[in-house]
Structure 1
Amino acid sequence: MQDGFRQTTFGTAVLLLATIGMGVVLFPFWKAIFWAVVLTILFWPLREKLMNWLNGRKTLTATIIVLMNLLFILFPALLILGIIAEGAVSVLSQVEFDSFPPGKMLETISGKFPRLSDALATLGIDFAAIKSVLGNMFAYIAQFLATHLAQIGQGASTLVFQGFLAFYVLFTFLLFGDRMYESCFAVIPASREHKQKFFTAFSEMAVATIRGMVSVGFVQALLGAIIFFFLGIDNAAFWGAIMGLLSVIPPFGAGFIWGPAGIAMVLSGDTVDGIILLAFGAGVISMSDNVVRPIVVGRASSVPSFLILVTTLGGLAVFGLTGLVLGPVIAAVFLSIWQLLYDEKKKAASSSIDDETLGTFSHKE
């Protein structure tokens, strides 16, 4: 009887080389593929409902879901990036460093808090030296931004390309995802029960993480709108919504809005309100991420809240924005594997005890 292709040495070598080659080819786009997988899992229940309503028209169903994603995810993201870029260019073009130095902030603080100036003077801290350092730092930042605008634009174009690629792959998965799912299950060397557990852990954590991101965005939008309204800043609801959408962008998120706003208020002489905004942004808006995300994600999965927080931060550090989902997903699969090994070990130990007990009774008889 002939051996199967995978059971021969040649077949194993060809399979290994082909798999490695495919991985190398797809590696530059792995983030787009990963997000396509996550979105497929997220929208699969909707896909099933639309299929029933549209009498099984797969192409129309996939088109509707992809258009929904373009309308509510990609286009708003591009709009926000455009608003930020336009605002940054406008500010840089209007600032004159000689007539509006960063040291003006220190002069304002010194005038409103003379005791602070006296206390710093007794410690040997010179305001003039601090003003000089701030001026040089501000000029360096402006020069850095000016010289790296091309790289920033290139990064934005890459992001747009990856986004459209992710939606194209999503369209394919929505069309043939069921067949691809069964094919993968057929070739993975594990029992169907074990494979189902791993997939369930992956899908549950992916969906829970997306829900966590949405919850964080809503909370930060609400907090941002409240503090802007309290401080009398115009269009508080609009800027709150922008902060909510930016909350998913590492590492600053909503800080792209409240940070410059607070600094601008301090520099313009509105020192108290500016400090309040900066303190509230750093201590409440930004920290809400570390509170809301573990709670929401932890309730929807079996992963402990502290591990969700750690793997989210670790995933963010290693993989960037994708790590916000991939980090907790890796943790969920990791725990599932160890839980499976523990259950099998426990089952084997229990079976061994039962065999020994049966042998003892048989010997007595």
Structure 2
Amino acid sequence: MSREKVFSYFLLGITVFFTFLVLVILTPFLKPILWAVIFSLVAYPLHLSLSRLLRNNTLSALMVTLLVLTFIVIPFLIIGLVAAKQSVEITKAIIQYLQNHTLTDVLHSLYSLPVVNKLITEEILQRVYEYMQSEEFKNTITSYLSKLTQKAGEIFTSMLFATGSVIFKSFVFLISFFFILRDGRRFVEFFARFLPMHKEDLYEVLLTIYKTILAVVYGSIGVALVQAVLSFIAYTVVGINYSLLWALITFIASFVPPFGTGFVWVPIAIYTFLNKGLFYGIFMLLWGSLVISTVDNILRPLIMKKGIKMPYIVLFFSTVGGLLTFGFLGLFLGPIVFTTLFSLAIIYERRILKEG
């Protein structure tokens, strides 16, 4: 083996080794960096327009970063903190209610509701009451209350630690976002020189990734945000306590198949019907089915299908699979992996099969 080949293999090996070390070092910052990449791609057209107008790439990137800080990062931090505070308040309220009321009181309160009163007879109520007086039931409830109190304390403590972590990750996100906006094009051009691909093929893959990210942002996150706002309006109108927290839960539920936001607004509609009266119950049911769910059923498939050229069933599995595998970031990574594979398959067919 010639000296040049030995050197080439050695250089390749040591490059792979140091690349691995770089990835290990960046692991604690990987998620905020990936989010910065995603948001910078979405904001890049705005940055490009500002850069041409101001004739200053750095100033343009700084202005867009400040816009993201003002209208995305800070509002989400505030919403997250308020939702965390409300979740702690709900837990405390449940514990306090259970401590101040006997289980018999709870049972009679439920029985006093008109709908429950019609469904449950006195005989059934008596049997339930007798079971609630047994030692087995009392021990079970005492055990659950103890665990609930302990869990509430753990949640509160973890929230305090998580707040510092979220602020730090937000800082990493903003720094990464700024530099990716400012220098991202140079990064791509630098690494493109080392890839054994035709330039047009590489940019075809990058364009596919870009379109996929936009489709997911507008089709999944955008629609989920609209649904969360619409649900917050409804929860506030019907008088649901901690409506902001429930709206945030609705936002998260919108990504969970098969019913999405229905996992949240349907139980709330039932609760409203039982506690707030027929009018508010019907309003919540109609608003959920005709407004909240309709936004999801109509807008999401249209936007996603327009930006991502894949069969809908493949799009479904890539999104849900990505979400289950990588968490919230998987909403992007799942479709990106599938669309990139499709794009590479098309390039292979064009460059290898047809030319061969």
TM range (shorter): 0.7 to 0.9
- State which of 234, 243, 256 in structure 1 corresponds to 2:247: 243
Quote the Cα distance in structure 2 between the aligned partners of 1:105 and 1:241: 25
Assess, with a 3 A threshold, how the Cα gap between structure 1 residues 249 and 276 changes in structure 2: closer, same or farther. same
Letter aligned with residue 83 of structure 1: V
Contact 1:220 1:247 in 2 (8 A): yes
Contact 1:102 1:135 in 2 (8 A): no
Residue number in structure 1 paired with 2:325: 318
What is residue 117 of structure 2 aligned with on the other side?
114
Structure 1 equivalent of residue 229 of structure 2:
221
**CA distance 1:174–1:280, change in 2 (3 Å):** same
Could you tell me which residue of structure 1 aligns to residue 340 of structure 2? 333
Residue 37 of structure 1 pairs with residue 41 of structure 2:
no
Give the letter for the 2:345 counterpart: W
Q: Which moved more, 1:19-28 or 1:244-253?
A: 244-253
> Closer, same or farther in 2 for the Cα pair 1:248/1:197, shift >3 Å?
farther
For 2:28, the equivalent position in structure 1 comes to: 28
Change (3 A) 1:92 1:273: farther
What is the distance in 2 between the residues matched to 1:200 and 1:323?
Answer: 19
Farther-moved stretch of structure 1 (105-114 vs 306-315): 105-114
Contact 1:221 1:241 in 2 (8 A): no
Aligned 1:152-301 pairs, distance under 5 A: 152-212=159-219, 213-226=221-234, 228-229=236-237, 231=238, 233=239, 239=243, 243=247, 247=251, 269-270=275-276, 285=292, 289=296, 292-301=299-308
The 1-side partners of 2:164 and 2:266 are apart by 26
Report the secondary structure of 2:121's partner residue: helix
Gaps of 5+ in 1: 352-365
Give how far 1:119 is off. 9.9
Aligned counterpart, 1:85: 84
Partner of 1:354: none
Using CA pairs below 8 Å that are at least 6 residues apart, which structure has the higher relative contact order? 2
Q: Displacement, 1:201?
A: 1.2
Q: Structure 1 CA distance, aligned partners of 2:36 and 2:321?
A: 22
Check conservation: 2:232, 2:247, Cα contact below 8 A. Answer: yes
Matched, 1:49 2:56: no
Whether the 8 Å CA contact 1:222–1:240 is kept in 2: the answer is no
CA–CA distance in 1 between the matches of 2:277 and 2:143?
Answer: 22
Q: Which moved more, 1:184-193 or 1:165-174?
A: 184-193
Whole-angstrom CA distance in 1 between matches of 2:338 and 2:299 = 18
Aligned AA for 1:88?
A: S
CA contact (8 A) 2:231 2:247 kept: no
CA distance in 1, matches of 2:325, 2:67: 30
Distance of aligned partners of 1:93 and 1:222 in 2 relative to their CA distance in 1, 3 Å threshold: closer
Q: Does the aligned pair in 1 maintain the 2:36–2:176 contact within 8 Å?
A: yes
> Residue in 2 aligned with 1:361?
none
Asked if the contact 2:216/2:332 (under 8 Å) is kept, the reply is yes
Structure 1 contact 249–321 (Cα < 8 Å) conserved = no
* Partner SS for 2:100: coil
Q: Which secondary structure does the structure 1 equivalent of 2:98 belong to?
A: coil
Q: Percent identity?
A: 21
What amino acid is aligned across from residue 42 of structure 1 in structure 2?
Answer: V
How far off its partner does 1:256 sit?
A: 11
Task: Please say if residues 249 and 264 of structure 2, whose CA atoms lie closer than 8 Å, have aligned partners that are also in contact.
Answer: no
Alignment counterpart, residue 126 of structure 1, candidates 117, 128, 149:
128
1:345-364 superposed matches below 5 A: 347-348=354-355
C-alpha separation in 2, matches of 1:143 and 1:286: 37
Is this contact kept in 2: 1:40–1:170, CA < 8 A? yes
SS class of match (1:8)? helix
Q: Distance in 2 between matches of 1:87 and 1:136?
A: 25
C-alpha contact 1:209 1:325 (8 A) present in aligned 2: yes
SS at match of 1:148: helix
Q: 1:181/1:31 Cα in 2 relative to 1: closer, same or farther (>3 Å)?
A: same
Q: CA 1:32 to 1:240, structure 2 compared with 1: closer, same or farther past 3 Å?
A: closer
Structure 1 pair 9–345 and aligned structure 2 pair: CA distance change class (3 A): closer
Q: CA deviation at 1:179?
A: 1.0
Whole-Å separation in 1 of the counterparts to 2:300 and 2:104: 39
Cα deviation, 1:156-182, whole Å, max 9, x if unaligned, reads: 322222222011011111221121110
1:59 paired residue number:
58
Kindly state the Cα deviation for residue 86 of structure 1 after the two structures are TM-superposed.
2.4
CA distance 1:245–1:117, shift in 2 (3 Å): closer
In the aligned structure 2, how far is the partner of 1:222 from the partner of 1:201? 32
Separation in 2, partners of 1:273, 1:107? 24
- Structure 2 vs 1, CA of residues 32 and 296 (structure 1 numbering), >3 Å: closer, same or farther? same
Corresponding pairs, count: 341
The CA distance in 1 between the partners of 2:343 and 2:282, in whole Å, is: 45
Shift of 1:76: 0.8
Give distance in 2, aligned partners of 1:177 and 1:318: 28
1:356 corresponds in structure 2 to: none
CA change 1:6–1:329 in 2 (3 A) is farther
After superposition, the Cα gap between the structure-2 partners of 1:3 and 1:38, relative to the gap in structure 1 and judged at 3 Å, is farther
CA RMSD of aligned residues (A): 4.2
Q: C-alpha displacement at 1:5, in angstroms? A: 9.3
